[in-house]
Structure 1
Amino acid sequence: MLRLFNAFSFFGDVVGRADRHAVVRHLPRLRGDLGLDAVVINAENAAGGFGITQSTADELFEAGADVLTLGNHSFDQAQGIRVIENEPRLLRPCNYPQGQVPGRGAGLFNVKGYNLLVINVHGRVFMDALDDPFVAVERELNAAPLGDVADAVLVDMHAEATSEKNAMGYFCDGRASLVVGTHQHVPTADARILPDGTAYQTDAGMCGDYNSIIGMQTEEPLRRFTTRMRGGRFEPATGDGTLCGVFVQTNARGLADRIEPIRVGGQLAKQVPVV
């Protein structure tokens, strides 16, 4: 172990402009109040609800994010391809075909003198059939083992099926500090520490306006559910955003001593106080 990496947070999918602004408004205070050594944010919906751009990535980095992860909307914005190629702090899923897709799926980041390994991986159940996520994560864990090369390891499992996310948690147990799910945009109530010391939550939830249908204005999703007809594109909801994520404290082995949900601002924070 190189040094004690004490506390970090992960925040779920940021959906659109209003919710980027919520990150800008709340994150600087949270970093100080919680004594965070690092912050990782899933930003795959940051640009108009779909994908990433240079300006949206810059806005989140300037607000206090150290690393951004993506998901199935990684390449939805044409200009986002260049950002994914050139920005080392921006990760797309590691199980895209190796050598054929721009960007990186994992990175070892020096943050405040600590080595933080971040792995972004894409599920396959009810999702696009990318390469095996378990093989891909195994490769990245072996490249920078916890307690040897990495002071802390965070795995963002971007997946639809809760069972697949749960399986990834146990697959990484004892080898990662945190395995956390994204993509579903709804925070789950199962934050816990697994038997061998890995913190786990099935879905972190979104950083978004919860007066919506998973971050989108309700009219178009309702039309599609009730009529099976498309009337336009999905548009991000623009109300007050809630920041949803998890707070993790680690021990000298880089494993978790504590995991707590974070919910700040907007509707959900009225029910669940900040850590």
Structure 2
Amino acid sequence: MSAVRKQENSDEALRVVPIKKQAAKVTAESAATKKQSTSVAVVVDEAVVLPQLAASAAASRVEAQVIDLDRIIGEVTNVIATTKDHYKCIMFTDLESSTEYKRSMGHTKGYMRNRLFCDICEDAVRQQNGQVVKRLGDGVMVVFEHAIDAVMASLLIKRGIASHRKKLKKVVGSMNYRIGITCGYVKEIPGKPKDYIGHAMDKGARIQTHARRNQILIDEIVYGLIHTKIRDYSDDILIGAPKNVSLKGVGVSTLYEVSPKQLGLESSLSARMRNMFRS
């Protein structure tokens, strides 16, 4: 009887032990499978996220088409030949030291500073019936139908920045700039956006680079168009003495500084001393 019980106990042990081992084996296999599936998932996710730097298929040099240069030359020539000249007043604005600012403060804050300046310029331009042709990163290129509108827009920019200088300094630091204005015939190149070419565009850019910090410069053409109208604003606007300067690639030109009377001329000794100590 005891032998039978012993045999039964032995059979039960034999039946139990394999079950335990099998469970352990299944658990190990499940863990391995789970680990493998997790690794695959990670690889797949990385493959989705990472940029595909290699081409999916090798480029065929035989099938590559040569650029149709004659077609491109024909299209460009036709656009220029069929575009009429327009007499416009051109204004260029530029924010000082934007590259150095981004290097020291970072590109995010540099973008914010540039964006604020361009938005201030565009708001003033819209109020004076101007058209922003393009943003130049840290400035704008603008055209006006009338010289007096361009001058009034530039003065509005100067007043706006001066009146909010403390607030702007808290947000993005100092915001110093240069503005140049001229008038002349230009070609309006169609497209989205439109563009303009011509000697007057080059001259406007050169006048802007010649300006001092926070200075607005106009040339003899603009002065000739506005000097009679400016008398209506004589209580609010200052015009500096004429100064002959040589503009690179343009030639000699006579430039005048314009400024709101309450802010004074940047070419004055007091303004130069103020700018010297302004951060």
Superposition TM-score, scaled by structure 1 size:
0.24
**Larger Rg: 1 or 2?**
2
Superposition TM-score, scaled by structure 2 size:
0.24
* Between structures 1 and 2, the one with greater helix share: 2
Between the two structures, name the one with larger relative contact order (CA 8 Å, sep ≥ 6): 1
